[in-house]
């Protein structure tokens, strides 16, 4: 049964010119792109998106990074989409990411790690509704 997840190609990847390659690799990995949009988040939208982290010391850095430039948001579908996307993204720290993962190939640091993905089916629904309410 198909599952949906939410993904972001972050500003560090879009400004480095690898967003198209990440989209290509996403499709090669059998994810169906249901919706895709290039956008730039406002501070308010970024704070809403990262709201679950608002009491953590890295909250400001998360917000600053995600609003620093254009990004690509995607609604993806595939059997086991959440787990498969997280595996394909790789570990948050690109230096600890497995070879062939997005973060291993395109991430630079814990903060500049190229992509985001929902961490659970429940959060996928919340994130998809936040960015693609009519999906």
The strand pairing partners of 32, in sequence order, are 77
Q: Please give the radius of gyration of the chain, using alpha carbons only, rounded to the nearest integer.
A: 14
81: tokens are 């989409």
Q: Residues with catalytic annotation?
A: 116
Pairing of strands 2-9, 115-117: antiparallel
Helix (H) / strand (E) element for 39: namely strand 32-39
Do 73 and 7 touch, CB atoms closer than 8 A? yes
User: Can you state the angle between helices 81-89 and 121-131, rounded to 10 degrees?
Assistant: 90
């Amino acid at each position: 049964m198909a599952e949906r997840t939410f993904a972001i190609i972050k500003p560090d990847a879009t400004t480095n010119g690898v967003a198209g390659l990440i989209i290509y690799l996403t499709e090669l990995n059998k994810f169906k792109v249901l919706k895709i949009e290039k956008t730039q988040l406002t501070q308010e939208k970024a704070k809403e998106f990262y709201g679950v982290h608002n009491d953590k010391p890295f909250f400001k850095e998360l917000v600053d990074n995600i609003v620093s430039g254009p990004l690509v948001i995607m609604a993806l579908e595939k059997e086991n989409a959440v787990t498969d996307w997280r595996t394909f993204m790789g570990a948050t720290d690109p230096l600890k990411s497995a070879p062939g993962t997005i973060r291993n190939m395109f991430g630079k640091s814990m903060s500049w790690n190229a992509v985001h993905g929902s961490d659970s089916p429940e959060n996928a629904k919340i994130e998809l509704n936040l960015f693609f309410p009519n999906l």
